[in-house]
Amino acid sequence: MKPTVTQQIGMKQQQFEALFAKYHRLVYCGAYSVGRSSSRAPGGQRLPRHEPQRRAVRRVRWPILHKGFGRRFYRPPSSDEMSQGPETTNRKGECVTTKVKKIKALLGLKGTSDPDVLKLLNAAHDGMNGNPAFSGAPIDMQTFKAGIDKFTVLVTDAADGGKKAISAKKKQREEMVKQYTLLGHYVEAVSNDDPAVFHTSGFVLAPMTRTPPQPLPPASFEWIDRGPLIGQVVVKPKQLPKAFSFDVRYGVEVNGVPPATWTTVTITSSKKWNFTDLTPGANYAFQIRALGRLGYTDWSVSTHFICG
């Protein structure tokens, strides 16, 4: 059977003590052989019988012991190891420890609108007020409710666009977000990773799974213009979040017929790019696509531009 975390810690401690004693003996034996070759003091005076070995041990042992045995050798268990759930037995009869998923509250309110922030604040107050599971909250619920009411009034006053009202609203919002965050961490600790207890608090549970990557929207040009010299065209891709690079292809279009051959250039960012050695007066068709985590997007619709 696989040893438990406590047993593993005990094994590490025993291994540490055994290696410490063995290493101590090796260092002493090595120092003894070194010390025998220097049995006289610098002034020529003969030292006591065991003094050379003792001096050599002092020179060698303590730097090695202090630098060789540290936290890198014996590491106490981490919080994740100590928070492992109950042990179960698999089909092979091996003891398997299942990890308990940590519960986290959704506390990031940056970019959240004021009405949505008020909804979250009121939900937290209604869930924690009079809840015996959270009787030791670090913020009194009456004080928290008074702050919510004040923030509600300031949000209404700031709708008129007054600078003082907007400044007061921002200040009160920061204060309420701090209180909301403090209460959220308190709920996380008291819930003890129990979803049933957590949901009674009124806080929103943060998603425990990562959001899979989404395909990029279609790529396009922000603008296309003439270059500084004859036979040059400058293109500017439209900025696309989470795009790694852009592919721009171009070709000459004759009498409305799409180009028979395309020339493709890879641009590593959305900065403008200067195409040279083009034919002045020719009607060029430009297309663009973006590269994301899931691959390339489709080619965009052709944008026509006459080279100057």
**pLDDT number for residue 138:** 92
Beta-carbon contacts of residue 122 (< 8 Å; ≥ 6 apart)? 148
Closest C-alpha among 304, 292, 272 to residue 217: 292
pLDDT digits (tens, 9 = 90+) for 34-60: 444 444 555 555 555 556 556 655 554
Q: What are phi and psi of 119, to 5 degrees?
A: -60, -45
pLDDT digits (tens, 9 = 90+) for 98-144: 566 788 888 888 888 999 999 999 999 999 999 999 988 999 999 99
Closest C-alpha among 229, 218, 221, 271 to residue 249: 221
**H/E element, 88:** strand 84-89
**pLDDT number for residue 64:** 46
pLDDT by position in tens, the chain (length 308): 445 544 544 545 566 566 556 555 655 555 445 444 444 555 555 555 556 556 655 554 554 455 444 444 444 455 555 555 555 666 666 665 556 678 888 888 888 899 999 999 999 999 999 999 998 899 999 999 999 999 999 999 998 888 899 999 999 999 999 999 999 999 999 998 888 999 999 999 888 777 788 899 999 999 999 999 999 999 999 999 889 999 999 999 988 888 989 999 999 999 999 999 999 999 999 999 999 999 999 999 999 999 98
Q: Provide DSSP, 205-236.
A: BPPSSPPPP-PPPPP-EEEEEE-SSTT-EEEE
Check: CB of residue 5 under 8 Å from CB of residue 86: no
Amino acid identity at 35 = G
On whether the pTM is more than 0.75, the answer is no
**pLDDT number for residue 111:** 84
Q: How far is CA 148 from CA 38, 130, 138, 140, 143, in A?
A: 81, 17, 16, 13, 9
